[in-house]
Amino acid sequence: MSFDLGVDSLGDLSRGAALLGTGGGGDPHVGRLLVTQALGDRTVRILDPDEVADDAFVVPVAQMGAPTVGMEKLPGGDEPVAVLRAIERHVGRTADAVIPVECGGINSMIPLFVAARTGLPVIDADGMGRAFPELQMKTFAAYGISGSPMALAGENGETAIIDTGTDDKRMEWLARGVTMRLGGIAHVAEFTMSGADMRRTAIKRTLTLGIRLGAALREARRDHRDPVAALAEVVADTEYRHLRALFTGKIVDIERRTEGGFAVGRARFASFGAADTSELELTFQNEHLVAEVDGRVVCTVPDLICVLDAETGEPITTEGLRYGQRATVIGIGTPPVMRTEQALAAFGPAAFRLGTEFRPVEELTAGTAGTAAPTP
Amino acid sequence: MSFDLGVDSLGDLSRGAALLGTGGGGDPHVGRLLVTQALGDRTVRILDPDEVADDAFVVPVAQMGAPTVGMEKLPGGDEPVAVLRAIERHVGRTADAVIPVECGGINSMIPLFVAARTGLPVIDADGMGRAFPELQMKTFAAYGISGSPMALAGENGETAIIDTGTDDKRMEWLARGVTMRLGGIAHVAEFTMSGADMRRTAIKRTLTLGIRLGAALREARRDHRDPVAALAEVVADTEYRHLRALFTGKIVDIERRTEGGFAVGRARFASFGAADTSELELTFQNEHLVAEVDGRVVCTVPDLICVLDAETGEPITTEGLRYGQRATVIGIGTPPVMRTEQALAAFGPAAFRLGTEFRPVEELTAGTAGTAAPTP
C-alpha cells in the first residue's frame, strides 16, 4: 500500500533502521536530521513496490563508506541529489522513483532526503532488508541486475562514473578506492533498473518494516514491556519470521579499526553471573557478520545480528559499543529470498571468508537452553 | 609541417622519448612494440599543430601510473582505444585528433597506437614537452584548460569517468586512487579541448623533437661522436635552447619505492677520480625532480634532468638505474612557456614541495668549472 510519509514517522523509522543496520549502515539519526530539514511540513510519497510501473526508471541512492567516518563527516546536503543527476545524465534518462539499497542505518533516510529535495517518490523496498558493507551484496545483484554504470559524488561537487560491466565486485573495488580518496564517505547511485526488475529482485516493504520495528521499540518502552518480545511479535508477522535472543551480558573487550575503507573489528560480551562464564564474540565489517557463544556459531550473515541496550532496547551500532555496556544480542532470520544459493554466494559467510557455512539462526539456536526466543 | 609516420621512425622516437621522459614517463620501448604491431606497414598521419582546425575536438590520451609497475604490467591493447571511446560517449562528441599529454616515455607512443587502431591523426605537440608525474602538471592546465571530465580504462574493460570541475589537483587525487585500484596502471583521456585551445596551450612539435633527439643519439653512436654534443646541437635549434652536462660518475646508492601510486626515491652518483670526491644526488617522483652536486642545486623541474649511459649515450630511466652504472647526467632548459609564473605554479619546484626556487639550468650552471656544456 502506498502512503505519504511526514517527519512524524522519522523517529520510528530511525530507530527501526538502526536495528536493521545490524550494527552498521551509518547512523540513521544523522539522516533523520537531513530529511527533517529538507521536508519541513511536506510529505514524501512512499510507493508500494506492486504499484510501480513495469517500465519505470528506478534509481537506488545511498551513502557508502565506513560508518566510523560517517559519524564525523556529515553530508553537506548536495551530494545525494548530485549523484542522482550524475547517473541520470550518464544514462540519458530521468528517474521515476528512488529506492533504498538498504533499509538499515542512514541509507533508509538518503532516498527520503533525495525525494524531499526533488519531489520524486520512494519505493517501499530495498536490496537486502538490512545493511551490508559491500556494493555487490544486494538481492539486485544476486538476481541478475548489474550495478554498473554507477555514479559517486563527493562533498566538493566531484562526481565519478564507474562501469565494470557485469562485474559488481570489481565495481565495489574501484568505488571503494574513490570513496577512500573522497575522505571515506561518498554518495552513490547504482543498480539502476526497471520497475519490473525492482519487483522481481527487491525485498519488499522494508521501509514499512523499519517504521513498525521502531514503533514496537518505542511502545514497549512506554508500556514497560520486554523490547525483545515486542520486536519478535513484529518479525513473526513478516517474511523474516524468526527472532532469537542470543545472549545478554556486558562488553568486556572491543577492538575496532578502519581498514580498506571499512570499520572492522570484534567485540566480546561476558555474561553477568559470576557462576556463568560464557562469552559471546561478535565479528564485524561495518555490520555484524557472525556471533559465537563460547566458540559455537549462533548466528551468521545474511541473518541479522543486532545489539540492543539491555535496559532500553535501543539498537547500538558498532561505533557505539563501549566497554562495560550491558547489552542483549539478538538474531533475526532473513527472508527466504536472502537464503537461496545465489543470495548466499553474494552475501553469505563465504562472501566474507568467515570459514563457516550458513545455517539459519532458528536452526543454530534450536534447543539451546537460555537462548530460546520469546517468539509468540 | 604535417607528415606520415611509419614504423621506421619509431626507433628514433622511442630513444628520444626516453630522453624527454627525464627518467620516467614509462618505457617507450613497450609502447613502440604496441605501435609496431598495430601499424604494420601503414602510416599514422602526424598533424602540425598549426594545421589543426580551430573547432576540432582534440583528445589527449595517455597511460598513467608508476613506471615501475608499467614495466611489469603491459597494456593488453584495448585500453587506449576504450578510454577514447569512453570520453567520446560521455561528452557526446567524436574525436577529430588525438594528442600526447607528454612526449616523454611511453606516452609518446600511446596516441600513435590509438591512431593506428582508429585511423585518427596525431597532433605533433604535447602538454609539457617532457614527462611529469601528476595529471594537473600540464601547460593545458597552466593556461586554463580543465582536465575534467576525464576517462580512465583498465585492462578488464572497466571504465571510469571523473569530473571535478576546474579542480585538476582533485581530479589527479581521485584518478590516482582509481589507478592504484586498477593495479597501478591505467589509460586516461583528459583535457579534451578545441583545436584553437590546443594551439594556445600546447608545446609544439615535440613528437618531431623526440624523433630528432633519438636520431642524433643513433647517429652519434654510429659516427663515434660525443652524444651529449650531438644532443646539444639539436636542442640549440629549438625553444629548449640550453643543454648542460651536469655530472659524470658512477651510481653509488639507489633507493626507490612505490608510494601513493608513484615510483619515488633518490640516486647518488660519485665522480670517478680518486682525488675528486664530489657527488650528485638525484631526487625523483616517477621523473627526475632535482639534481644537486655536493648539496648545491644544479637543475630542477620543469627543466629536464636526464641520465645517459656514459659509454653509449642511451637514456636510462629511474627503473633502469643500477649500482655501479657509469652515467652522464645532463640538464636541458624548458621552453619559455614552461617557465612562466603560471607554469611554475603547476609544475615548478614548489608544486613538488622541493624547498628550492626555480632557476634556469643555464643560470645555475653558469661559470661552473667542469660542468660547462659543449653547446655549439
Tens of pLDDT, residue by residue over B336-357, are: 999 999 999 999 999 999 999 9
Confidence grade of residue A71 (pLDDT, cut at 50, 70, 90)? low
Yes or no, beta carbons of A160 and B160 under 8 Å apart = yes
Spacing of C-alpha B25 from chain mean position:
5
What value does the mean pLDDT of chain B take?
93
Q: Does any CB of chain A come closer than 8 Å to the CB of residue B174?
A: yes
* A331: in domain: yes
On whether both A308 and A358 belong to a single domain, the answer is yes
Q: Is there a single domain that holds both residue A42 and residue A169?
A: yes
- Within-domain flag for A209: no
**pLDDT value at position A319?**
86
Region A30-52: mean pLDDT is 96
Residue to mutate among B83, B88, B181, with most A CBs inside 10 A, is B181
How many angstroms separate the Cα of A212 from the Cα of each of A6, A16, B162? 15, 7, 41
Query: Domain holding A135: CATH number?
Result: 3.40.1610.10
Residue B268: pLDDT band by 50, 70, 90 thresholds? very high
Model pLDDT, residue B188: 97
Q: Verify that A110 and A154 share a domain, yes or no.
A: yes
pLDDT of residue B248: 95
SS3 string, B152-207, reads EECCCCCEEEEECCCCHHHHHHHHHHHHHHCCCEEEEECCCEEHHHHHHHCEECHH
- Which grid coordinates belong to A79? 551530494
Asked if B170 lies within 8 A of A162 by C-beta distance, the reply is no
Same domain, A268 and A350: yes
Give yes or no: residues B355 and B267 share one domain. Answer: yes
User: Does some domain include residue B375?
Assistant: no
Model pLDDT, residue A368: 66
Residue B309 above 80 pLDDT? yes
Count the neighbouring beta carbons within 10 Å of the beta carbon of residue B40: 10
Question: What is the count of residue pairs from A and B with beta carbons less than 8 Å apart?
Answer: 63
C-alpha distances in Å from residue A229, one per residue of A210, A244, A245, A371, B112: 16, 10, 9, 13, 70
What's the pLDDT at B232?
Answer: 97
Final residue of a domain: which of A157, A172, A204?
A204
A114-149 per-position pLDDT tens digit: 999 999 999 999 999 999 999 999 999 999 999 999
Confidence of residue A30 (pLDDT cuts 50, 70, 90): confident
Q: Is the peptide bond before B100 cis (omega within 30 degrees of 0)?
A: no
Judge: B164–A176 Cβ closer than 8 Å, yes or no: no
Among B130, B91, B142, B97, smallest CA distance to B115 is for: B97
Is B305 domain-assigned? yes
Contact A165 B174 (CB under 8 A): no
Least confident of A132-146, A147-161, B251-265: B251-265
Are the beta carbons of A252 and A269 closer than 8 angstroms? Answer: yes
For residue A343, pLDDT over 90 is answered with: yes
Among residues B204, B238, B265, the one where a domain terminates is B204
| CATH code at position A248 | 2.40.390.10
Report A:55-114 residues touching B (Cβ under 8 A).
Answer: 86, 90
A81 and A168 fall within a common domain: yes
The SS3 of residue A294 is coil
B14/B213 Cα distance (integer angstroms): 10
Q: pLDDT value at position A375?
A: 42
Residues in chain A: 376
pLDDT for B375 equals 42
Q: Are residues A355 and A255 in the same domain?
A: yes
Question: Given a cut of 70, is residue A68 above it in pLDDT?
Answer: no
**Roughly how many angstroms between the first and final C-alpha of chain A, as a whole number?**
26
Q: What pLDDT, on the 0 to 100 scale, is given for residue A261?
A: 80
B291 and B153 fall within a common domain? no
- The predicted pLDDT at position B373 comes to 44
Contacts of A157 in chain B (CB under 8 A): 164-165
A369 confidence band (pLDDT: 50, 70, 90): very low
Task: Tell me which of B140, B170, B204 is where a domain ends.
Answer: B204
Selected for mutation to probe chain B from A83, A135, A164, A173 (highest B CB count within 10 Å) is A164
Residue B86 and residue B133 share a domain:
yes
What average pLDDT does this structure show over B161-176?
A: 96
Distance between CA atoms of residues A347 and A366, nearest Å? 23
Q: Is residue A371 part of a domain?
A: no
Enter the ipTM.
0.84
pLDDT for the residue B368:
67
Instruction: Give the domain range for residue B52.
Output: 3-204
Among A90, A162, A176, A182, which would you mutate to test the B interface (most chain B Cβ atoms within 10 Å of its Cβ)?
A162
Does the pLDDT value for residue B182 go beyond 70? yes
Residue A362 and residue A240: Cα distance in Å, rounded? 11
Q: Is B132 within a domain?
A: yes
Over residues A291-318, the pLDDT tens digits come to: 999 999 999 999 999 999 998 899 999 8
Q: Is the pLDDT of residue B335 over 90?
A: yes
What is the CB neighbour count within 10 angstroms for residue B222? 8
Q: Please state the rounded mean pLDDT for residues B130-146.
A: 95
In a domain, A217, yes or no: no
Tell me how close the Cα of A191 comes to any Cα of chain B, in angstroms.
16
Same domain, B158 and B58: yes
- Among the residue ranges A211-220, B242-251, B261-270, the one predicted with the least confidence is B261-270
Domain count of the fold of chain B: 2
A51 and A145 in one domain? yes
- Whole-number Å distance between alpha carbons of A281 and A346: 24
3-state secondary structure of B308: strand
- With beta carbons under 8 A apart, name residues in chain B contacting A173: 181
Q: Looking at the domain assignment, is residue A376 inside a domain?
A: no
Residues B136 and B267 in one domain: no
Compute the mean pLDDT over every residue in chain A, rounded to the nearest whole number: 93
> Residue A159's closest chain B neighbor by CA?
B163
